[in-house]
Amino acid sequence: MTRTCENCLNAYNNPHDAEVRCVKKDWESQFRDIDVTVHKGETCGTFRPRNSNQPKVVFGKPVQLTFDF
């Protein structure tokens, strides 16, 4: 298992958009303006392996667009 965001406990899918975010970066963003999104192969040095019962992190999740006519 590689020590990247894809396999990290701190990464999660945001329920409000298609981005994958990092819990550690969310915490840091309270104190300074940083981008809290993460990429599959990225690592921020705070790797913790995902639990087997956690849902997989989905990168590039499609967004459903709806049109009201």
Q: Do residues 41 and 4 make contact, with C-beta atoms less than 8 angstroms apart?
A: yes
Other C-beta atoms lying within 10 Å of the C-beta of residue 49 = 11
Pairing status of strand 20-22 against strand 11-13: antiparallel
Identify the residue whose tokens are 């999660």.
Answer: 12
End-to-end alpha carbon distance in the chain: 48
Instruction: Name the pLDDT band for 6 (thresholds 50, 70, 90).
Output: very high
Give tens-digit pLDDT for 13-47: 988 888 899 999 999 999 999 999 999 999 888 89
Confidence (pTM): 0.78
Structural domain spans, the chain: 1-45
Per-residue pLDDT at 64: 67
